[in-house]
Amino acid sequence: MLVSVLTACSGGAGTPGTDEGASGSKTFKLWLGWSATVNNDSMVQKYWREKEPGINVQLESTQGDAMTQLNLKLNTGGFEDAAIFSRGDVVTNAMIRSKSVLPLEQYFDMPDKYPSLAAIPKVYLDKMKDADGHIWSIPTWFDQDPADPWPGWASLGWFVRSDVLEKVGMTKDDLKTIEGVEKYLKLAAGQKDASGKNLLPLSFMSDANDENVVLSTFGVTVSSAGGVIPVEKKGNDYEFIYDNPQYKAAYQWMNKLYRENLLDPEAITDKKERYKEKNKTGRVAMNVGGFFNMDASLWETLDGPTEPAWFYDVIPYPTVPGAPHVGANQIINPYPANDVYINKNTKNLEAILSFFDYTLQQKPEQQQVANEGPAGVFWDWVDQPLGKWTYTDAKYKELHDSGDSAKKASTTPELYATSSYSNKWYPWWNYGVTDPKGRLKTIEFTESIGKMGGARVAEDYDMVKAKPGGLWEKYLPELENVRKEYKAKLIMAKDEAGFEQAWTEFQGALEKRAHWSELKNEWHEELQAQASK
């Protein structure tokens, strides 16, 4: 019956390792480079098998450390058909060294046979070529338009309690400058919470590095795209995070607030649960940092103004003298996050290529299709394509949302990572269930923050890695220790003289303990080496 349902697709690719029988194969095994609950008879896999693309995908997941499992598998005969792993030099080098994987460059140049593979942006494919022009994997989970990438779940910003703002006679327009923020904090300090205690004017969770948003507001780039250190290009040179004069200015401002009792004195020491409790009970008038650290569930579970968290609102980054633009705190990397490797001896090459040509269709909704099946099967549009959507299959929704991993696995293997994504439409910002109303606040927050200037596209200098056995590998842990130690000393200095002393000590510790100048020299060497590749 299965054979009769699965009608024949195009012929074999004529590649060594396949034969005439292989060309008509409709089944292959996909090894996942991550842990997962596997049910190879899930509802989505049944659809793939019986409808489109007519392929029977059988999954196997790694358990425990993926790199250990990879080495073990490659040393004991390798995977049978295909493997998908998160992109990384270690994985790529291990696959190529094993001499067990198939070079795939020819399949990206067959638009009649594999249109989706041919449509992968060339900028991604070109960077994947080795010295001989070979491409050893199918890239997945990339932005369909590298020139206009999806900003992701931007969550780093400034959040004000609109009820407190109203009580002190100010509006969001009054908070456009850092001076306006200070005015609000001074007025908010005189307001009371439900228990009669004075509000904490400003708070953040330093344990999660929330103060990075203040640094970003002052024009300091605080993020990278997997590189060893945040860096910003200035003309023909590069400015490292600790060398930016605005880094010091940002900490001077936080220290000023601390000394004027406008900053929560426990911001440096608070842990997650304590910080969330303050936000839940309405102790804080303004937060800066990540809203997931504040705890988005505080407002997502509300359907109206019944608790303080309902009144949280996001505001644009306030302008600061000496900071012409917001420093990057979210580096958008549109490049592929995953790679699919194919065993050179697979008997199922056509099935593998056909499946990924299906999942990599250049459609804004394709990650939703790869994850939950196409529209009209288990879910559908509420009103129009690329609008809101909801689940339409009651059984699918019940099992999917049960909270039981085995039940969820019976619906879908969640292989959105085999597809790509687009800035034109994102599924979970368009889920049609709006009850309770509070859950929409998170979507509104993240969409707004993504447009506030803290996000930018990754550049080569954002991705400079540590050289194996080099100075960054040796001293990066100590550099982080120095940063953590002195951020606390800078924020909590007792007076301006104490701040200057802490700053001088910080500069000395960077050199003596973390070998700062040597690290920067090696960084420049690695950037040049990276460019030469």
Encode pLDDT of 359-407 as tens digits. Answer: 999 999 999 999 999 999 999 999 999 999 999 999 999 999 998 999 9
CATH number for 156-331+440-463: choose from 3.40.190.10, 3.30.450.40, 3.10.180.10, 3.30.2020.30. Answer: 3.40.190.10
Q: Which H, E and C letters describe 185-229, residue by residue? A: HHHHCCCECCCCCECEEEECCHHHCCCHHHHHHCCCCCCCCCCCC
Confidence of residue 6 (pLDDT cuts 50, 70, 90): very low
Question: What are the beta bridge partners of residue 139?
Answer: 339
> Residue 63's CB: how many other CB atoms inside 10 A?
11
Q: Is-cis flag, bond preceding 436, omega within 30?
A: yes
Q: Is 16 helix (H, G, I), strand (E, B) or coil?
A: coil
Q: Is-cis flag, bond preceding 53, omega within 30?
A: yes
Mean pLDDT of 74-95: 91
The whole model's pTM is what?
Answer: 0.81
Mean pLDDT of 38-52: 98
Place of tokens 């085995």: 406
Query: How many residues in total does the chain contain?
Result: 533
Confidence of residue 226 (pLDDT cuts 50, 70, 90): confident
144 has a pLDDT exceeding 80: yes
Q: Report how far residue 151's alpha carbon sits from residue 156's, in angstroms, rounded to the nearest whole number.
A: 12
Mean pLDDT of 25-37: 95
Q: Report how far residue 330's alpha carbon sits from residue 152's, in angstroms, rounded to the nearest whole number.
A: 9
Mean pLDDT of 238-251: 98
322 has a pLDDT exceeding 50: yes
Q: Is-cis flag, bond preceding 149, omega within 30?
A: no
Place of tokens 């499946």: 355
What value does the mean pLDDT of the chain take? 93
pLDDT tens, 394-403? 999 999 999 8
192: its two tokens? 């009371």
22 has a pLDDT exceeding 60: no
Mean pLDDT of 16-43: 78
Contacts of 484 (CB under 8 A, 6+ apart): none
Say if CB 28 and CB 51 are below 8 A apart: no
Helix, strand, coil percent values for the chain (each to nearest 5): 40, 15, 45
pLDDT of 494 reads 97
pLDDT of 531 reads 83
4 has a pLDDT exceeding 50: no
The backbone torsions φ and ψ at residue 17, rounded to the nearest 5 degrees and listed phi first, read 100, -10
Q: Report how far residue 352's alpha carbon sits from residue 346's, in angstroms, rounded to the nearest whole number.
A: 9
**Strand ranges inside 261-343, DSSP E:** 284-290, 312-315, 330-332, 338-342
222 has a pLDDT exceeding 50: yes
Place of tokens 């790509």: 420
- 463: DSSP letter: G
pLDDT of 24 reads 64
**Measured at the alpha carbon of residue 357, what is the angle toward residues 352 and 363, in degrees to the nearest 5?**
150
pLDDT of 435 reads 82
* Interstrand relation of 330-332 and 312-315 (parallel, antiparallel or unpaired): unpaired
Q: Report how far residue 256's alpha carbon sits from residue 218's, in angstroms, rounded to the nearest whole number.
A: 15
Confidence of residue 21 (pLDDT cuts 50, 70, 90): very low
464 has a pLDDT exceeding 90: yes
Between the alpha carbon of residue 520 and those of residues 55, 188, 235, 503, 506, the distances in Å are 51, 43, 17, 20, 17
pLDDT tens, 255-287? 999 999 999 999 999 999 999 999 999 999 999
Of 199, 241, 260, which Cα lies nearest the Cα of 487? Answer: 241
Question: What are the beta bridge partners of residue 233?
Answer: 238
Question: 27-147+335-429: what CATH class?
Answer: alpha beta
**Measured at the alpha carbon of residue 225, what is the angle toward residues 300 and 479, in degrees to the nearest 5?**
100
pLDDT tens, 104-117? 999 999 999 999 99
Question: What are the beta bridge partners of residue 287?
Answer: 159, 203
Say if CB 326 and CB 1 are below 8 A apart: no
The CA R_g of the chain, rounded to the nearest whole Å, is 26
pLDDT of 13 reads 36
The backbone torsions φ and ψ at residue 283, rounded to the nearest 5 degrees and listed phi first, read -80, -15
Q: Report how far residue 144's alpha carbon sits from residue 361's, in angstroms, rounded to the nearest whole number.
A: 10
454 has a pLDDT exceeding 80: yes
Mean pLDDT of 321-340: 95
Q: Report how far residue 248's alpha carbon sits from residue 250's, in angstroms, rounded to the nearest whole number.
A: 5
Q: Report how far residue 368's alpha carbon sits from residue 208's, in angstroms, rounded to the nearest whole number.
A: 31
Q: Is 450 helix (H, G, I), strand (E, B) or coil?
A: coil
